Amino acid sequence: MSPSSGGARVARGELAVALGALALACVVLWQTLEIPVSPIYARVGPTIIPMITAVGLGVLSLLLIAGALRGGWQTDEEKHATPDRKALLWLAAGLLANVLLIGPAGFSVASVILFTATARAFGSTRPVRDAGMGLAFALLAYFGFARALGINIGAGLLERAIESVLGIAS
């Protein structure tokens, strides 16, 4: 609709975000349907949580699309704010480092770098403290998944060294 017709303008940036979220929901649904499911599972199996996630994200995406078509969900103040490009670069660098390092360096090292870069993007100027906090969270997550759930999320040198010191068999 045009502004002269009395209707709200389509918020193109917000529509792009909403369509991106819908595309992500479609990818999650597609990949969930690709998960092999043993016939021993009745209705609840390894795909239930990803399926709920895909459907929930899809519904929220449709609501965001509707909001964008009605003029957007941002306040006037947000519409006129300029993005903090330096913060976005810190986030992008942290994500890229995580993707590149999770295989060769392990989950904990990659997660510490991501956590520290994310904290910096949000204005932290204490990288040593941030790395320590990131390490604590990463090790908790790693051992929670690896030991409690039996899921390998990327053991690296650090994880194997800690397991060796603690006498835990890999």
Residue recorded with tokens 């990463």 = 138
For residue range 57-112, what is the model confidence (pLDDT) as tens digits?
999 999 999 999 998 887 888 778 888 999 999 999 999 999 999 999 999 999 99
The pLDDT value recorded for residue 63 is: 96
Mean pLDDT of 119-125: 97
Give pTM, 2 decimals.
0.65
4-8, 27-31, 149-153, 155-159: which has the minimum mean pLDDT? 4-8
Q: Count of residues for the chain?
A: 170
Closest by CA to 133, choosing from 149, 111, 155, 154, is: 111
36-40, 78-82, 130-134: which has the minimum mean pLDDT? 36-40
Q: Which residues contact 51 (CB under 8 A, 6 or more apart)?
A: 29, 32
Residue 106 DSSP label: -
The pLDDT value recorded for residue 133 is: 98
Closest by CA to 142, choosing from 168, 124, 116, is: 168
d(C-alpha 122, C-alpha 94), whole Å: 12
Residue ranges of domains in the chain: 3-80, 85-166
Residue 169 is which amino acid? Answer: A
The pLDDT value recorded for residue 5 is: 46
The pLDDT value recorded for residue 79 is: 76
Q: Which residues contact 106 (CB under 8 A, 6 or more apart)?
A: 154, 155, 156, 157, 158, 159, 160
Q: Between 2 and 159, whose confidence is greater? A: 159
